[in-house]
């Protein structure tokens, strides 16, 4: 029989990862929007959703956070994150091009790129982001849930529902 305590623990764990996912999606959107806007000299919203979130960042961040714990040495996180994000980005590029019929991003103008899908520079940045997530975002998310478990769970789910509601509203308003 599942007790109330076990249910709360499962909700906290899920909420920790969900909050980490949302934070990583937002930071990914900020990074890409700032970088692209700086390069093009005008504001460029790099989002694919009607909210400032890039899900590809959240998916990999949660995966790397699940695989590597906060006590893993930062250099190991960096190396595994760099290699992992490079492979993940390449696969996502191929899959999204097959689905949408065009590339959602390209690195053709960047030095040391491969097929315009990945580049050494972006891979190093993503490795650094993995360190930031594993050593900063994930532990902070856990700390919030330790200090304010019920409030943190409610806040996380409310944030997710607001994002979902905005997406549905924007998609149906078009």
Q: What whole-number distance in Å separates Cα of residue 95 and Cα of residue 1?
A: 42
> What is the rounded CA–CA span in Å between residue 83 and residue 157?
32
Range among 12-26, 41-55, 119-133 rated most confident: 119-133
Asked if pLDDT for residue 7 goes beyond 90, the answer is: no
Sequential DSSP letters for the chain = ---HHHHHHHHHHHHHHHHHHHHHHHHHHHHHHHHHHHHHTS-----SSSSS--HHHHHHHHHHHHHS-TTS-HHHHHHHHHHHHHHHHHHHHHHHHHHHSS-S---TTSSSEETTTEEHHHHHHHHHHHHHIIIIIHHHHHHHHHHSHHHHHHHHHHHHHHHHHHHHHHHHH-
- pLDDT band at 77; cut points 50, 70, 90: very high
- The two structure tokens encoding residue 88: 């993940």
Q: Is the pTM of this model over 0.85?
A: no
Tens digits of residue pLDDT in 112-162: 999 999 999 999 999 999 999 999 988 888 888 778 777 777 877 787 777
CB within 8 Å of 31: residues ≥ 6 apart: 125, 129
pLDDT band at 172 (very low <50, low <70, confident <90, very high): low
**Nearest partner of 36 among 24, 28, 44, judged by Cα:** 44
Q: Which of 63, 70, 111, 66 is nearest to 89 (CA)?
A: 63
Q: What is the pLDDT of residues 81-123, one digit of tens each?
A: 999 999 999 999 999 899 889 888 888 888 899 999 999 999 9
Q: Which residue has the higher pLDDT, 74 or 14?
A: 74
Q: What is the mean pLDDT of residues 17-40?
A: 88
């Amino acid at each position: 029989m599942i007790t109330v305590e076990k249910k709360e623990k499962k909700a906290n764990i899920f909420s920790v990862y969900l909050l980490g996912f949302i934070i990583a999606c937002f930071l990914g959107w900020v990074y890409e929007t700032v970088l692209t806007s700086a390069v093009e000299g005008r504001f460029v919203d790099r989002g694919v959703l009607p909210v400032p979130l890039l899900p590809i960042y959240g998916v990999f961040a949660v995966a790397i956070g699940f695989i590597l714990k906060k006590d893993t040495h930062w250099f190991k996180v960096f190396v595994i994150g760099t290699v992992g994000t490079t492979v993940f980005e390449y696969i996502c590029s191929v899959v999204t091009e097959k689905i949408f019929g065009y590339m959602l991003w390209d690195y053709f103008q960047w030095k040391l790129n491969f097929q315009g899908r990945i580049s050494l520079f972006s891979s190093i940045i993503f490795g650094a982001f993995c360190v930031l997530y594993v050593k900063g975002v994930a532990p902070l998310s856990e700390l919030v849930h330790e200090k304010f478990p019920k409030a943190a769970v409610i806040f996380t789910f409310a944030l997710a529902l607001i994002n979902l509601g905005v997406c549905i509203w924007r998609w149906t308003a078009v």
